[in-house]
Amino acid sequence: MQKTIYIKDSDSEIFEKAEEILGTTSLSEAIAKALRKTIEYKKAAEQGWQEYELDGAWCPDGFLHEEYRKIKFAGRKLAGYQEVRNNNDASIWNIYQTRGGKIIVSAESPQDESKFNRINALYKSLDEIDGQTVPLAGLRHMIPKRIIIEAREALGEYAAVYID
């Protein structure tokens, strides 16, 4: 199938740049790829998925690997919780699910001025995070049970115990 596209004068520079970088023969392939990505993104957005960008200490297995790293992923937020302790110190917790099914636990301690006041930890499943601790603001903090239950409910798992 052969199609002709109209290119506005204001967009000509981007097409010239694309031809320069991709080569003339790849331009239609590049357009098709961009259209597929756009359609995929729109469908994902309709299902509640979106693109996230988080920064902070990187703890792919619950242990510190890098002091600071930006991570990007397509996913959805399953749960959020603000935990306030006795000394008015607060932690903000979020659990995300990636499109690939992995779980990201993100925690922040806004009052702490250290470089470890924000962490992102990666896990294979919600079962893996139950009872885990993460290094936040120089201390190991238990991932709150409350946010794990909320995340399970967001995934359709019924977390309550039935009593007859």
pLDDT digits (tens, 9 = 90+) for 66-111: 778 888 888 999 999 998 876 667 889 999 999 889 999 998 887 7
Whether 81 is in a domain gets the answer yes
Closest by CA to 75, choosing from 131, 17, 154, 15, is 154
Closest by CA to 31, choosing from 53, 15, 16, is 15
More confidently predicted of 122 and 19: 122
Q: List the domain range (segments joined by +) for residue 76.
A: 50-154
Q: What is the pLDDT of residue 35?
A: 87
146 and 65 co-located in one domain: yes
66 and 142 co-located in one domain: yes
Percent of the chain with pLDDT over 90: 18
Structurally, the chain folds into a number of domains equal to: 2
pLDDT digits 0-9 by tens, 20-51: 777 655 677 778 888 888 888 788 778 778 88
Extract long-range pairs of 69-73: CB within 8 Å, 24+ residues apart: 69/120, 71/104, 71/120, 73/98, 73/99, 73/104
Closest by CA to 51, choosing from 69, 72, 31, is 72
147 and 97 co-located in one domain: yes
